[in-house]
Amino acid sequence: MIYLADTANLEEIKELFHYYPMQGVTTNPTILSHEDKPLSVIIPQILDCIGDKMIHIQVISETAEDILQEAKKYREFFDLKNNYYVKIPVTKEGFRAIQMAKDAGMNVTATAIFTQQQAIIAANAGADFVAPYVNRLDNIVSHGIDVVSDIVKCFRLHGISTKVLAASFKNVDQIYRVSMVGCHSVTASYEVLTALMSHPMTDKGVLDFERDGSHLYDVKW
């Protein structure tokens, strides 16, 4: 299971990538709006922080033709390599655009997924990742974890190689539960990621070790 950072905040990205084995960054127009910097500025800054790890950039065009042109433009403008994934929402035009982007040799993440059927159609269209929104489902009295579980099971059952990149998390428990149903990857905010990577008992244990034994460590390094 791999972890990606769902943020465009440079300080958050730097810290996460410095300390943890992060595999990439995901963005969308809402996330970018929190930074209030144009795409032409923020994407190169993010790339400087993450090296050759994955960058998922969402398109805003509406028609399949425009989506493809937009996706290609980013590849050229930012000189992106094989770590670039174009994020395409699964609208009617989006499903067509996914097929066109794959024909053009691009990596695709199908996003804004709320049902197992949307995920299967996106996979059939060629998406490399599908991104179901867990917390947004939970918010409408639905079951985000069950949708992720259904997608994972269905992909296994039918031998579909598309990966499930679960997104939209409010807490650590949601990530724990998608991991236990076999989800391949998650993208989450800085707050949720740092919360799941730390534990107060670990901090207490380390303090106790220092207190009890540090005076015995007389071999210099």
Instruction: Considering the complex, state which of residue 176 and residue 209 has its C-beta at the smaller distance from ligand G3P.
Output: 176
* DSSP codes joined into one string, 42-77: HHHHHHHHHTTSEEEEE----SHHHHHHHHHHHHHH
Amino acid (one-letter) located at 216: L
C-alpha dihedral (51, 133, 116, 176), degrees to nearest 10: 80
* Minimum CB–partner distance for residue 212 and ligand G3P (Å): 42
The length of the chain, given as a count of residues: 221
- Figure out which of the listed residues 125, 187, 192, 196 binds ligand G3P, where binding follows CB under 6 A: 187
Helix (H) or strand (E) holding 132: strand 129-132
- How far out from the chain centre does Cα 32 lie? 14
Residue choice 37, 96, 102, 136 for contact with ligand G3P (CB under 6 A): 136
Nearest distance in Å: CB 78, ligand G3P: 20
Does 133 engage in binding with ligand G3P (CB under 6 A)? yes
Active site residue 81: no
Nearer to ligand G3P, 31 or 90 (CB): 31
Is beta strand 2-5 parallel, antiparallel or unpaired with respect to 107-113? unpaired
Q: Which of 87, 102, 153, 170 is catalytic?
A: 87
Residue 59 binds ligand G3P (CB under 6 A): no
- Binding of ligand G3P at residue 17 (CB under 6 A)? no
Stretch that binds ligand G3P, among 41-49, 131-139, 143-151, 194-202 (CB under 6 A): 131-139
Contact 32, 59 (CB under 8 A): no
What residues line the site for ligand G3P (CB under 6 A)?
Answer: 6, 26, 28, 31, 133, 135-136, 167-168, 187
> Which amino acids are annotated catalytic?
87
